[in-house]
Amino acid sequence: MMKRMLHRRGGFTLIELLIVIAIIGLIAAMIIPNMLQTMTKAKQKRIMADERLVGTAFMAWLSDQASAAAAGASTFSIGNYEQRTAEEVKNQLVPQYIQKVPALDGFGYSYEYRFTTDSGADQVMAIRSFGTDGTADGDVYSSGAF
């Protein structure tokens, strides 16, 4: 009889283990979607901050270059703007106006920087992130006024 009691104290039964695994699975099923959504929102906020930072630096550069700078706007015709790489934007703004020009957005895709040489344009620059899927067809985050 003593042997039987010692043997029973040795571990958990299969039912107990299955119940614990099921509880852990339920908790994970509730937490993981919320965590993924929070991570996506954090990446979106990083994109907005990057766009605002580069836009403000460019407007400071522009006001130093011209007597009056045009205000930014939230919509634009992409055909009127010349695309530039992050390296070209960096050469224009670093170190006087900004310490670093971000090349990649929060989702790991390249930012699209565009500028116009039309002095009469309402908006002289556009910064765009292609969002979670990295294409212009899906979610696109464009900057507003600076």
**Which is higher by pLDDT, 60 or 140?**
60
44-142: what fold?
Glycoprotein, Type 4 Pilin (3.30.700)
Quick one: which of 104, 115, 101 has its CA closest to 57?
A: 101
Using DSSP, state whether 32 is helix, strand or coil.
Answer: helix
Residue with tokens 């900057």: 143
Q: Where are the domains of the chain?
A: 44-142
Spatial separation of the C-alpha atoms in residues 140 and 128, rounded to whole Å? 7
**pLDDT attached to residue 63:** 78
Residue 66, pLDDT score: 61
pLDDT digits (tens, 9 = 90+) for 13-67: 999 999 999 999 999 999 999 999 999 999 999 999 998 999 899 888 877 776 4
pLDDT higher than 80, residue 137? no
Tokens of 107: 């989702």
For residue range 52-111, list pLDDT tens digits in order: 999 899 888 877 776 444 444 444 455 556 888 889 888 888 999 999 999 999 999 999
Whole-number pLDDT of residue 114 = 85
pLDDT > 70? residue 113:
yes
Q: Say if CB 65 and CB 59 are below 8 A apart.
A: no
Structure tokens at 90: 């960096």
Whether 122 contacts 82, CB under 8 Å: no
